[in-house]
Amino acid sequence: MGSPVRIGILGAGTVGGAVHDLVATGHLARFGVDAEVVKVFTRRPEGKPGYATAPELFTTDPAAVTGHPDVDIVVEVLGAGGAEDLRAQKEWVVDALRHGKPVATANKALLVAHGAEIWTAARESGRAVRFEACVGGGIPIIGPLTQSLAAERPAAIYGLLNGTSNYILTEMAQRSRSYEDALASAQALGYAEADPDADVSGRDAEAKLLLLASITFGARLMPGAIHRKGIERIHAIDFLYAARKGRATIKSVALARGVDGALEAMVSPMVVPERHPIAGIDGVTNALFFKGQVSDGGAPGAGDWDYVFAGPGAGGGATAVAVLGDVQELVARSGDAPFLPVESIVSGVDSVRPQDDLRASFYVRFVVCDQSGIVGELCQILGEQRINVSEIWQLEHTEEELESLVGRGKGGTVAHEILPFVITLEETSVGQLRQALERIAQKDYVLAEPLWLPIWGA
């Protein structure tokens, strides 16, 4: 590799612009890497950082980056579009590898959709693909999991992988805001996109979890294969029940763990006890906890410890730092060490547990029309499904709270007729719970679809 290291960038958005600026201002020089950006692909060069002073740096042809004889390393920071766009982006990454150029990417959607073809091209070309920025933005996670912790045997990875969802839930918990209010505030502060669906539905966290599950457990899963639930139906009163009755809060948790040789994975809001460290991670912060079997055994109290990684999960600067960390590593390894042969990861996991077989204790919030005998009937239906009730929680509510609950369900009911309450359940399977709730949903007195959430560790 020549000196200075010559970087070509695919993409000139938030992250691409920040990568350009950090390289231009010598941010890699601290550890002795002399680098420069020699080509940038964007469909719209005008107005991009650096364009005014050096328009010749820009091209509207991706091949002018991936095949450029003077580019040593390709940084791929394209925004993901539809399936067609991802296929085109995959071709560009594969083209860079075939031209002998290692790649650092921030594009998790690309790896989730086309990882297999990209790893194959990396292996055939003997060039590395690094993707630290794909999970947790600026937090170093992939490097520690694949290098520092290579000798650990994974038991579980779990955490808060979407800053937008964590910000919204934190605002609801700490300031009793409605979901709609907290989302509007996230958008006003630039934490949520105009279309927030990928964040609040859990799809973004799911893509990150699938990457983590592949490097930790060797599991190759496609989106849709795991249980995923968004945060859209959480109501401010759920935080009241969780806090006052369960000494807990609600967090959107991504979890993958090996249980009896099978992988269990899900992204879902969960009721998390206040004493668990994950409950205290607030705002847009991301955090990943890694439970290893080596660190988990042995010394007294060792089982209480997980490895914890936390920090800024997004933002142009933080993400560009992660991308350039990969560039630094590629330079240190001369760019030719094939990285992460995902297929060869020895996982100890040989199947993926079907969604309906996932087991947990559950929080179920009901909103019914206030009549006598309803709680008894619900408990009977649950019992017929072989589900044991643990506790029944009930709080006083304001008229405003009650009306906002039914606004989301069947309208036309006056506040004093609306009765919310929570039933917590002993451990059962998702499938059994779903069947019971399908029966319950048909009852006339049910005013809103019951909300069910796993209870962490109960």
Position 43 contacts ligand NAP (CB under 6 A): yes
Position 42 contacts ligand NAP (CB under 6 A): yes
Pick between residue 168 and residue 451 the one whose CB is nearest to ligand NAP: 168
CA distance 280 to 6: 42
Q: Strands, DSSP E only, in 220-273?
A: 227-228, 248-259, 262-273
**Segment near ligand NAP (CB under 6 A); pick from 114-122, 186-194, 311-319, 366-374:** 311-319
Which residue in the set 170, 268, 319, 429 belongs to the binding site for ligand NAP (CB under 6 A)? 319
Which residue in the set 6, 7, 16, 90 belongs to the binding site for ligand NAP (CB under 6 A)? 16
Whether 208 sits among the annotated catalytic residues: the reply is: yes
Min CB(152)–ligand NAP separation in Å: 25
CB atoms inside a 10 Å sphere around CB 418 = 21
Cα separations (Å) of 167 from 66, 158, 182, 397? 38, 18, 8, 25
Phi-psi region of 78 (alpha: psi -120 to 50; beta: other; left: phi over 0): beta
Position 11 contacts ligand NAP (CB under 6 A): yes
**Segment near ligand NAP (CB under 6 A); pick from 74-82, 150-158, 191-199, 296-304:** 74-82
Position 416 contacts ligand NAP (CB under 6 A): no
What is the H or E stretch that residue 437 is in? helix 430-441
Fill in the per-residue mask, 91 to 120: x = in contact with ligand NAP (CB under 6 A), - = not in contact: ---------------xxx------------
List the one residue out of 80, 28, 286, 342 whose CA is nearest residue 164.
Answer: 286
Instruction: Please identify the residue of the shown chain whose CB is closest to the bound ligand NAP.
Output: 13
CA distance 95 to 92: 5
Position 137 contacts ligand NAP (CB under 6 A): yes
List the one residue out of 390, 392, 393 whose CA is nearest residue 458.
Answer: 390
Position 165 contacts ligand NAP (CB under 6 A): no
CA distance 28 to 240: 48
Position 64 contacts ligand NAP (CB under 6 A): no
How many Cα neighbours within 13 Å face the side chain of 2? 12
Q: Out of 208, 229, 251, 291, which one is annotated catalytic? A: 208
Position 81 contacts ligand NAP (CB under 6 A): yes
Residues making contact with ligand NAP (CB under 6 A): 11-16, 42-44, 77-81, 85, 106-108, 133, 137, 314-316, 319
Active site residues: 208
